[in-house]
C-alpha cells in the first residue's frame, strides 16, 4: 500500500463525537511511552502526524487521522503508568471501553507491546479485556532496535507463550522499529487486505 496522504482530523472526548463511521478504521493503543506516535508516523511516512512526547500519558482524547481519504488511524490514550488522578484514569478507561465496544467501523486494534521488556501483567490484562469484549486485535512489538535481536526474540516468544496458557488461538503479531521502518510493509499489507473486506461487506 502506498500512503499518498495523511492528515489529522479531530480529537474527540468520546466515540459519539468521532467522524462518521463510513470507512474502516484501525485503533492503536498501548502502555504509556510504548512508542505509539513514532509507530503511527513511521507507518504513514509523516514525521509530524502524531505528536511524539517524552511525557507518558500525553494522548488524552480519541485522535483520528485520515489516510489516503480512504481509512482512519485512531490514536487512543495509553493505559498504565501515566501520572494522572484516579478520576481521570477512570474517565479515560470508560472512554476507551466505549469507543472499542461501540465503534461499528473499527476493523481491528493494534496493541503495542514494548519489545525490550519481558511480558508485563498490565498488557496481558488488557488483552483479556479485549477478549471479553470480543474485539479483534493484533500485537505490535515496538522498539526492537533498542535491544539485541536475542533479547527481542526471547521477549516476543515469552509473551506469546504467556498468552498460549489461556488463549486457544494467538493473534497475528509484528515486530517493529520506527527508526529502521521494520514491520511497516507487513502492517500496511494487512490494513489493505482489511480495507478490501470492509468495502466488500459495505
pLDDT digits (tens, 9 = 90+) for 156-195: 999 999 999 999 999 999 999 999 999 999 999 999 999 9
Closest among 147, 143, 140 to 112, alpha carbons compared: 140
Asked if 106 and 25 count as a contact pair (C-beta separation under 8 A), the reply is yes
In a domain, 1, yes or no: no
User: What's the domain count of the chain?
Assistant: 1
Res 81 pLDDT > 60: no
State the chain's mean pLDDT as an integer.
Answer: 92
What was the pLDDT predicted at 82? 60
Structural domain containing residue 65: 6-201
CATH of the domain at 35: 3.40.50.300
Radius of gyration of the chain (CA): 16
Q: What is the mean pLDDT of residues 6-13?
A: 94
Asked if 81 and 31 count as a contact pair (C-beta separation under 8 A), the reply is yes
Rounded to two decimals, what is the model's pTM? 0.94
Asked if 122 and 31 count as a contact pair (C-beta separation under 8 A), the reply is yes
Amino acid at each position: 500500500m502506498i500512503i499518498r496522504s495523511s492528515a489529522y482530523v479531530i480529537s474527540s472526548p468520546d466515540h459519539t463525537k468521532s467522524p462518521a463511521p463510513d470507512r474502516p478504521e484501525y485503533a492503536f493503543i498501548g502502555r504509556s511511552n510504548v512508542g505509539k506516535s513514532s509507530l503511527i508516523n513511521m507507518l504513514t511516512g509523516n514525521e509530524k502526524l502524531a505528536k511524539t512526547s517524552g511525557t507518558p500519558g500525553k494522548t488524552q482524547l480519541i485522535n483520528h487521522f485520515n489516510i489516503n481519504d480512504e481509512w482512519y488511524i485512531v490514536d487512543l490514550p495509553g493505559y498504565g503508568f501515566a501520572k494522572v488522578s484516579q478520576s481521570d484514569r477512570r474517565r479515560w478507561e470508560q472512554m476507551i471501553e466505549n469507543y472499542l465496544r461501540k465503534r461499528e467501523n473499527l476493523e481491528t486494534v493494534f496493541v503495542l507491546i514494548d519489545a525490550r521488556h519481558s511480558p508485563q501483567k498490565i498488557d496481558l490484562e488488557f488483552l483479556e479485556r479485549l477478549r471479553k469484549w470480543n474485539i479483534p486485535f493484533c500485537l505490535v512489538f515496538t522498539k526492537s532496535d533498542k535491544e539485541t535481536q536475542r533479547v527481542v526474540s526471547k521477549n516476543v516468544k515469552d509473551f506469546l507463550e504467556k498468552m498460549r496458557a489461556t488463549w486457544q488461538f494467538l493473534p497475528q503479531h509484528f515486530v517493529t522499529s520506527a527508526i529502521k521502518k521494520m514491520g511497516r510493509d507487513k502492517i500496511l499489507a494487512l490494513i489493505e487486505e482489511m480495507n478490501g473486506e470492509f468495502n466488500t461487506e459495505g
